[in-house]
Amino acid sequence: MRHLLGIEGLRRADIEALLDRAEAHLRGGPDASHVLRGKVVANLFFEDSTRTRTSFEMAAHALGAEVLNWTMAGSSVSKGETLLDTVRNIEATGPVALVIRHRAAGAPHLVARNVGCAVINAGDGTHEHPSQGLLDAFTLRRRWGNLDGRTVVIVGDILHSRVARSNLHCLTALGAKVVLCGPPTLLPPGLESLGAEVSTRLDEVLPRADAVMCLRLQLERQGENFFPSVREFARLYGLNAARAERLKPEALVMHPGPINRGVELAPAVADGSRSVILEQVAHGVAVRRAILEEVCR
Ligand code: ASP
């Protein structure tokens, strides 16, 4: 694998190999601190990030690399420098990999066609967030052993969620059934053809879920009103304590973060015993280590 641009198109065996490698890291497997010694990994974040940027940084350090943390704020983007000029200039400083987040879908793909080093998509617009899909699958696999025959309900702003798209590809490739649930205006057409079941009724699908993944309302990507009010969205699609009661006793609750507490997820559920949200974050480091190792080979 030269780049990691998306989950779509990856085979089950490719995904499992990455997750196996992450598992070995997490179990304290062979010392990997020499793998990228003397190399630089460049984090290029054209959009804000907390978890993804820091965990790629920690993953790179664990492999012995230096990290260049470039952010759009304070850069020459404000002077009109193009995406390709920016990345070609960063590439000229010699990194072994570029980790890119950009608000435009397809930006990492464009970059990958124009640079010689490895490119990792850290989230491109509403398209894909492959490392998140992998770490979510990894979290479920660690809990369940495997995903075959499991049902994962992904609820909320499906339309604007790159996390939903990467998870749909990743979880179905690993044998799970994915139910995408949200208001009709936030469910893009064609999801069934990607293998998903689609529903607008959270209360009907919740009792079947082995895990529920709540998505943030991506208000920054919504140019128009997709629902009457945030309060109504929360009432119909928020995972509150009463709704969580409808879940199977062992069902897990996930969220990619950042959480709009009290909107898509109630604080008591986010911090409750079913929640694996901080496990997802912790696993992000091992999974991103596996990704960096794979594309920098
Ligand atoms: N952190 C995730 C992303 O960058 C989810 C979110 O922002 O809601 O896509």
Of 201, 206, 140, 196, residue with least CA distance to 168: 196
- Strand 97-102 and strand 151-155: pairing? unpaired
User: Do 148 and 247 belong to one domain?
Assistant: yes
Place of tokens 């009290």: 262
Q: Is 182 in the pocket of ligand 1 (CB under 6 A)?
A: no
Burial 162-188 (b: 16+ CB within 10 A, else e): bbbbbbbbbbbbbebbbbbbbbeebbb
In a domain, 140, yes or no: yes
Q: Is 216 in the pocket of ligand 1 (CB under 6 A)?
A: yes
Q: Is 257 in the pocket of ligand 1 (CB under 6 A)?
A: yes
Q: Is the pLDDT of residue 145 over 80?
A: yes
What average pLDDT is seen over the chain? 96
Distance CA 192, CA 107 (A): 26
The alpha carbon of 122 and the centre of ligand 1 are apart by a number of angstroms equal to: 10
Q: How many domains does the chain have?
A: 2
The alpha carbon of 146 and the centre of ligand 1 are apart by a number of angstroms equal to: 25
**With contact defined as beta carbons under 8 Å apart, do 80 and 59 qualify?**
no
- The residue-averaged pLDDT of 199-220 equals 96
User: Do 27 and 123 belong to one domain?
Assistant: yes
Nearest residue (by CA) to ligand 1, atom 1, is 257
Residue type, 177: K
Q: Is 162 in the pocket of ligand 1 (CB under 6 A)?
A: yes
Q: Is 129 in the pocket of ligand 1 (CB under 6 A)?
A: yes
Please write the tens of the pLDDT for every residue from 167-186: 999 999 999 999 999 999 99
Q: What is the pLDDT of residue 241?
A: 97
The residue segments making up the domain with residue 115 are: 12-129+281-296
How far, in whole angstroms, is CA 115 from its chain's centroid?
24
Place of tokens 């990619």: 256
Relative to the CA of 101, which ligand 1 atom is closest? 4
The alpha carbon of 195 and the centre of ligand 1 are apart by a number of angstroms equal to: 22
> What percent of the chain lies above the pLDDT cut of 70?
100
pTM of the model: 0.97
Q: What is the pLDDT of residue 127?
A: 98
Q: Is the pLDDT of residue 26 over 90?
A: yes
User: Do 142 and 274 belong to one domain?
Assistant: yes
Distance CA 168, CA 170 (A): 6
The alpha carbon of 166 and the centre of ligand 1 are apart by a number of angstroms equal to: 12
User: Do 136 and 232 belong to one domain?
Assistant: yes
User: Do 100 and 69 belong to one domain?
Assistant: yes
Nearest residue (by CA) to ligand 1, atom 4, is 123
Instruction: Write the CB contacts of 265 (distance below 8 Å, at least 6 apart in sequence).
Output: 214, 238, 239, 253, 255, 259
- The residue-averaged pLDDT of 241-268 equals 97
User: Do 232 and 175 belong to one domain?
Assistant: yes
Q: Is the pLDDT of residue 198 over 80?
A: yes
Q: What is the pLDDT of residue 278?
A: 98
Please write the tens of the pLDDT for every residue from 60-97: 999 999 999 999 999 999 999 999 999 999 999 999 99
Q: What is the CA angle 19-25-28, rounded to 5?
A: 145
Banded model confidence at residue 222, pLDDT cuts 50, 70, 90: confident
The alpha carbon of 31 and the centre of ligand 1 are apart by a number of angstroms equal to: 31
Q: What is the pLDDT of residue 224?
A: 72
